[in-house]
Amino acid sequence: MTSTAVLTVVAGRHDHLRGQLIGLAASAQAPALHVVVSMGDPGVRAVVEGVPASAGTRRVVVDVAVPDDGELPLARARNAAAAAALDLGADVLVFLDVDCVPAPELVGTYARAASSAALQAVPGPALLCGPVAYLPPEVRVTSPADLARLPAAAEPHRARPVPAAGEVVAAEESQWWLFWSLSFAVTAADWPRTGGFCEEYRGYGGEDTDVAASVRALGGTLFWVGGALAHHQHHPVQDPPVHHLHAILRNAEVFHRRWGWWPMTGWLERFREAGLVDYDAASRTWSLTGRSATAARNTSS
């Protein structure tokens, strides 16, 4: 029998974590393990202990320190979650961001997809990516009774495929860069082959595109998994995310050094239009402008 682990990294967002815990407890197929990685947040354990788990789920909290600059070590935290799950015998790793509430079928659907004929037929490592639908601000998960409201209230992401339930569809070449770490799964056998998350990335942006680039370079496959639905809980966002400007630029440079092309160009161009970054065509490099420090101070994370 497949042993599935759900992996979540968190700093703050305790209400979102409670919503996810409530959703996991209502899963049609309970995960054998839920690894929650606290990034410098001592309050996480109390949140986890405060929500009853399914009888079939073991919960483990792992602590990862945050560096002095305050940038969340998302890549390192996700790798720590995977390591803990593998040490405890998990066969399938389901990465689920803290703001995602799983639909009842998410865990079981990912587990079935991990053993599907489509996945077994590919030579390289495989990434399994389920759809994510977005909840409006007024729909919150504070009790099991709230879960019934989610399907009608959530709006699927318009840019990503949503296969029918039960379908496992290989991504087209042009879709590789739609992969995200919000909700995805990988087998325990494939995880070491991917190399995991590159820990040179710190803070927001780039680390999940790097995973996609690594798996693609290894001859792997990205699959869209119908029915592995997650409901994304609302939180305020900036567009473009100026409060993550420094991290995005730094992480874009890491990615460019590793892969030879620039990710997140939509954001970088928006930053340039706002006078926050410059691009030097001769050296093919991006750099901060004098206005960027002021803009960063005037925004809240």
Instruction: Assess whether 261 and 114 both reside in one domain.
Output: no
Is the residue at 237 inside a domain? no
Is the residue at 207 inside a domain? yes
Kindly report the backbone phi and psi dihedral angles of residue 64, in degrees, each rounded to the nearest multiple of 5, phi listed first.
-125, 130
Instruction: Assess whether 86 and 168 both reside in one domain.
Output: yes
Instruction: Assess whether 211 and 261 both reside in one domain.
Output: no
Instruction: Assess whether 248 and 172 both reside in one domain.
Output: no
Instruction: Assess whether 115 and 199 both reside in one domain.
Output: yes
- Per-residue tokens: 60: 């483990």
- pLDDT at residue number 294: 58
Domain that holds residue 267: 242-297
- Per-residue tokens: 29: 């197929």
Please provide the DSSP assignment of 129-140 as one string: E--EEEPPTT--
Out of 232, 262, 280, a domain closes at 232
Instruction: Assess whether 169 and 216 both reside in one domain.
Output: yes
- pLDDT at residue number 159: 85
Instruction: Assess whether 139 and 200 both reside in one domain.
Output: yes
Q: Give which of 227, 38, 236, 204 is closest to 129, Cα–Cα.
A: 227
Distance (Å, whole) CA 29 – CA 15: 23
First-last CA distance in the chain: 42
Angle between helices 207-217 and 245-259 (to 10 degrees): 10
Is the residue at 226 inside a domain? yes
Which tens digit of pLDDT belongs to each residue from 128-174?
A: 999 999 999 999 999 999 999 999 999 988 888 999 999 999 999 99
- pLDDT at residue number 300: 43
Q: Collapsing DSSP states into helix, strand and coil, what is residue 217?
A: helix
- What is the mean pLDDT of the segment spanning 174-194? 95
- pLDDT at residue number 239: 78
Distance (Å, whole) CA 219 – CA 162: 24
Which tens digit of pLDDT belongs to each residue from 219-246?
A: 999 999 999 999 999 988 777 889 899 9
Out of 232, 251, 274, a domain closes at 232
Kindly report the backbone phi and psi dihedral angles of residue 180, in degrees, each rounded to the nearest multiple of 5, phi listed first.
-140, 160
Which tens digit of pLDDT belongs to each residue from 63-122?
A: 999 998 889 999 999 999 999 999 999 999 999 999 999 999 999 999 999 998 888 888
Say whether pLDDT at 189 is over 90: yes
**Mean pLDDT estimate for the chain:** 93
What confidence tier does 256 reach under pLDDT thresholds 50, 70, 90?
very high
Instruction: Assess whether 282 and 198 both reside in one domain.
Output: no
- pLDDT at residue number 292: 67
User: Over the Cα atoms of the chain, what is R_g?
Assistant: 19
Distance (Å, whole) CA 51 – CA 30: 15
Q: 205-238: b or e for each residue (b if 16 or more CB lie within 10 Å)?
A: bbbbbbbbbbbbeeebbbbbbbbbbbbbbeeeee
What's the number of domains the chain is made of? 2
- pLDDT at residue number 281: 87
Is the residue at 24 inside a domain? yes
Instruction: Assess whether 56 and 158 both reside in one domain.
Output: yes
Task: Describe the strand order of the beta sheet including 183-187 as a list of residue ranges.
Answer: 58-64, 33-39, 4-10, 92-96, 183-187, 126-129, 221-225, 168-170
Out of 232, 258, 289, a domain closes at 232
Distance (Å, whole) CA 71 – CA 257: 20
Instruction: Assess whether 97 and 208 both reside in one domain.
Output: yes
Percent residues over pLDDT 70 in the chain = 96
Strand partners, 231: 101, 133
- Per-residue tokens: 190: 């494939």
CATH classification at residue 49: 3.90.550.10
The answer to whether residues 235 and 13 touch, using CB atoms and an 8 Å cutoff, is: yes
- pLDDT at residue number 301: 40
Say whether pLDDT at 127 is over 80: yes
- pLDDT at residue number 158: 85
